[in-house]
Amino acid sequence: MIKKNLTIKNELGLHARASNKLSTEATKFKSKIEIIFNDQIIDCKNMMDILMLSIGIHDSFTIKISGVDEKKALESIEKLINNLFGEGK
Amino acid sequence: MTYMYPLFIEKSMFKFLLITHGNLGQSLVECVENNLQKNCQNIIDIISLNALDIDFSRKELDAYVKKNKNFDIIILTDLYGASSSNIVKKHTSDENIYAISGLNLPMLMKAVTLKTDDIQMMVDEIIKCGNKSIINFL
């Protein structure tokens, strides 16, 4: 099991399209992937649950991944976040 | 049928039918597509309520239900107590019809991103999402 704190860097935060990209990315992996934010634990493969966290720019959350491909999943999700979800800013 | 739109879920044995006032249903679907940035694969159907002729909308619904009798149909209406919901009541005894009122954007986004074939679970999740999305957030 891997746990890591991640910080959102894109201007719009985890808005609808970013939440969709994150859940789509998470769905590619077999591992169980959860986001822990403000005492809430949600399934990272569920777009609406991510959206409802209302995570903005500079907000940090914990990602918890457990499963056979946990390392690859973390790398992939970190890359997506560092890439600003392809939004450029 | 006034409007047809492809949706995400492939090879489903169920359909979503929106019954709404004005262009609300069409606008909601456009917003879902825009937010999710996807070409949708399956279909969602819309009946835009004809305020001047409710019988016309009722007939549209009856024809739709008859045509899709082999599908489970989740009907999402915009306003409970209004004609958009009342015309559905005739079909409450149909075992393949499920109806939810209070349609909003989160509910529709939830509906098209659900990853289950369990219709009752879909209905429950859509309602839960609708309720959860109403927040006093300031």
| Residue A41 near chain B (CB below 8 Å) | no
- Per-residue confidence of chain B (138 residues) as pLDDT tens digits? 444 444 444 446 889 999 999 999 999 999 998 888 775 556 699 999 887 888 999 999 999 999 999 999 999 999 998 889 989 998 989 999 999 999 999 999 999 888 888 999 999 999 999 999 999 988
Please tell me which residue of chain B has the smallest CA distance to A54.
B137
Question: Using CB atoms, which residue from A17, A52, A54 is nearest to B35?
Answer: A17
CB contact under 8 A, B113 and A52: no
pLDDT at residue B1 in the model: 46
Question: Using CB atoms, which residue from A20, A46, A52 is nearest to B35?
Answer: A20
B84: nearest Cα among B43, B127, B109, B48: B48
CB contact under 8 A, B129 and A48: yes
Question: Using CB atoms, which residue from A17, A48, A54 is nearest to B113?
Answer: A48
Active site residues of A: 15
In angstroms, the separation between the Cα of residue B58 and the nearest Cα of chain A is: 33
B5: nearest Cα among B24, B36, B33: B33
In angstroms, the separation between the Cα of residue B134 and the nearest Cα of chain A is: 10
CB contact under 8 A, A46 and B132: no
B4: nearest Cα among B58, B52, B67: B67
CB contact under 8 A, A48 and B110: yes
B21: nearest Cα among B44, B52, B64: B52
Extended beta strands in chain B, E state? 3-7, 14-21, 42-49, 72-77, 97-100
Cα diameter, chain A = 33
Query: Measured between beta carbons, which residues in chain B are less than 8 angstroms from residue A16?
Result: 35-36, 109
Task: Give me the long-range contacts of A17-21 (CB less than 8 A, separation at least 24).
Answer: A17/A85, A17/A87, A17/B35, A17/B36, A17/B37, A18/A85, A18/A87, A19/A47, A19/A48, A19/A50, A19/A51, A20/A47, A20/B35, A20/B36, A20/B37, A20/B38, A20/B113, A21/A80, A21/A85, A21/A86
pLDDT at residue B61 in the model: 96
Cβ atoms of B119 and B14 closer than 8 Å: yes
Q: Which three-class secondary structure string do you get for B1-32?
A: CCEEEEECCCCCCEEEEEEEECCHHHHHHHHH
ipTM: 0.72
Low-confidence ranges of chain A (pLDDT < 50): none
Please tell me which residue of chain B has the smallest CA distance to A20.
B36
Cβ atoms of B79 and B45 closer than 8 Å: no
Q: CA A70 → CA A1, A67, B51, B53, B76, distances in Å?
A: 7, 5, 54, 57, 38
